[in-house]
Amino acid sequence: MTGRPTQDVPQGQEALWSRVDEYFAVLTPEDDALVDTRTRAEAAGLPDIAVAPNQGKLLHLLATLTGARRVLEIGTLGGYSTLWLARALPPDGRVVTLELEQHHADVARSSLDAAGVGEQVEILVGPAADALVALAARGVEPFDLVFVDADKQQLALYLERTLPLVRPGALVVVDNVVRLGAVVDPDHPDDRVQGVRRMVDLLADHPRFDATVVQTVGVKGYDGFALLRVLP
């Protein structure tokens, strides 16, 4: 998760959202490897913006339901969501994850290796927009699922550069697109909000993306994600 715009929430509402997430946590238990991945990221000083356990489980289920064998992740951070995704893949499956910061990538590598999925995960360090072009130039095998959890300013660009890398029917999940409801303000000063709005403009009449957005609340506050299907 990225930082959220400031907006008033009814008193006690966020506490209730968190309690509901805690109640349903019995359905998404974290094992030692997942907990260690979170705590290693915290100890290394990484920002607390990874997906929540229930959101990680959602990614895991989506990867399983789509029969994904190859996953592209834009925004590794400490590798928490990467671990959820890697565990959904068959033995010959692979996650390619893009991370801007070398320190974040090093922390993620340690956690993923310790969790036993390191051989299935390739971490590419550097600007994601450049990495997407480089992957296309390599002629990599198409991806079945894409998870975008990186800077919102470039969402439209990321989606355009993802298209040559995915198969028709692929699923794309874009996190943090509701921004506490700030997306309804066309003049909002936050460039992350404007990045989401540019993405929506792109998707509204795009010939190869079929999309929707789901609003969410929980321990991470009020936000939401976009769910896209890549058309032939």
What does the domain layout of the chain look like in residue ranges? Answer: 13-230
Q: Are strands 121-125 and 94-99 parallel, antiparallel or unpaired?
A: parallel
Supply 159's token pair.
């989606």
CATH 3.40.50.150 fits 13-230, yes or no: yes
Q: Are strands 94-99 and 70-74 parallel, antiparallel or unpaired?
A: parallel
Confidence of residue 7 (pLDDT cuts 50, 70, 90): low
Each residue's pLDDT tens digit, 174-204:
999 999 999 999 999 999 999 999 999 999 9
Query: For 47, what's the count of Cα atoms within 13 Å in the CB-facing half-sphere?
Result: 11
| CA distances in angstroms from 112 to 7, 38, 126, 182, listed in the order given | 36, 11, 19, 35
pTM for the model stands at 0.94
Q: Give just the sign of the alpha carbon dihedral 179, 183, 185, 191.
A: positive
- Within its chain, how far is the Cα of 86 from the centroid? 13
Each residue's pLDDT tens digit, 108-161:
999 999 999 999 999 999 999 999 999 999 999 999 999 999 999 999 999 999
What pLDDT score was predicted for residue 98? 98
| CA distances in angstroms from 166 to 33, 62, 135, listed in the order given | 30, 16, 11
| Distance separating alpha carbons of residues 62 and 29, to the nearest angstrom | 17
Residue 72's nearest CA partner among 230, 182, 232 is 230
Strand partners, 95: 71, 121
